[in-house]
């Protein structure tokens, strides 16, 4: 799909107006009209992808969803470390401070230092040892300011306490293959605009 984008620079001018209506009618309720997301729903134009921002990967997510009913869905689930007693309360606090540290926020230095080990043992397998996330498993980077559920201490604590498993429906039951491909292209275009 990306090859055709480069060969037809006017493709966007021709089709973007009608595809934007398709986006508005099917995607804007969660990702808002400008695709910048809202709390609990990711920004689609900021280059902080959970899987990848290529048109093919966007199309796959649209076809099969995330944590959806499709047998080919992308699966991503953050464990409930606190609720399920995978971490002690003090370890949750320390992990929160460590995440605040690696995301460049104010943090308790002593607690963050202890939280580094908690993170390495419990979080690095998904989020990478540096906290940069992993495109192969949908784990977000924790080192930037792009937060789906909020990046303040309370939101991070709630995530560690209760876990997360956001759901994106599969659109293959509602939209045609052509419409899904158009939406993938549209989201890709928007993300490229944001990169400039």
- Per the listing, tokens 């006017």 go with 10
Q: What's the pLDDT tens digit per position in 38-66?
A: 999 999 998 888 888 899 999 999 999 99
Q: For residue 141, what is the DSSP state?
A: P
Instruction: Tell me if 30 sits within 8 A of 193, measured CB to CB.
Output: no
What is the crossing angle of helices 109-122 and 89-102, to 10°?
Answer: 100
Q: For residue 175, what is the DSSP state?
A: S
Residue 7: what pLDDT?
A: 58
Q: What is the pTM of this model?
A: 0.85
Rounded Cα gap, residues 129 and 5, in angstroms = 36
CATH topology agreement for domains 2-75+169-195 and 89-162? yes
For residue 100, pLDDT over 60 is answered with: yes
Rounded Cα gap, residues 8 and 170, in angstroms = 29
The more confident residue out of 93 and 146 is 93
| Domain 89-162 CATH class label | mainly alpha
Rounded Cα gap, residues 66 and 55, in angstroms = 16
For residue 184, pLDDT over 60 is answered with: yes
pLDDT, average across residues 162-188: 95
- Please state, for a pLDDT cut of 90, what percent of the chain lies above it: 80
pLDDT, average across residues 131-154: 91
Which CATH architecture best describes the domain 2-75+169-195?
A: Orthogonal Bundle (1.10)
Chain-centre distance for alpha carbon 32: 15
Question: Where in the chain are the domains?
Answer: 2-75+169-195, 89-162
Please list the alpha-helical segments (H only) found in the chain: 2-7, 11-26, 28-31, 55-64, 89-102, 109-122, 124-127, 153-162, 177-195
């Amino acid at each position: 799909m990306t090859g055709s984008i480069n060969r037809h620079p006017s493709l966007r001018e021709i089709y973007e107006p009608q595809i934007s209506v398709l986006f508005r009618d099917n995607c804007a309720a969660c990702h808002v009209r400008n695709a910048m997301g809202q709390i609990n729903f990711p920004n689609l134009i900021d280059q902080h992808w959970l899987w990848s921002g290529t048109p093919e990967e966007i199309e796959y997510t649209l076809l099969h969803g995330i944590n959806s009913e499709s047998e080919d869905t992308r699966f991503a689930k953050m464990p409930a470390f606190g609720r399920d007693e995978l971490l002690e309360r003090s370890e949750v606090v320390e992990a929160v401070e460590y995440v605040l540290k690696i995301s460049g926020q104010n943090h308790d230095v002593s607690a963050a230092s202890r939280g580094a080990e908690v993170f390495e043992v419990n979080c690095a397998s998904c989020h990478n040892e540096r906290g940069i996330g992993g495109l192969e498993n949908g784990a977000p980077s924790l080192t930037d300011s792009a937060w789906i559920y909020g990046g303040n201490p309370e939101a991070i604590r709630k995530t560690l306490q209760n876990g997360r498993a956001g759901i994106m429906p599969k659109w293959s039951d509602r939209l045609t293959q052509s419409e899904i491909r158009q939406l993938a292209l549209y989201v890709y275009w928007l993300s490229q605009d944001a990169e400039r």
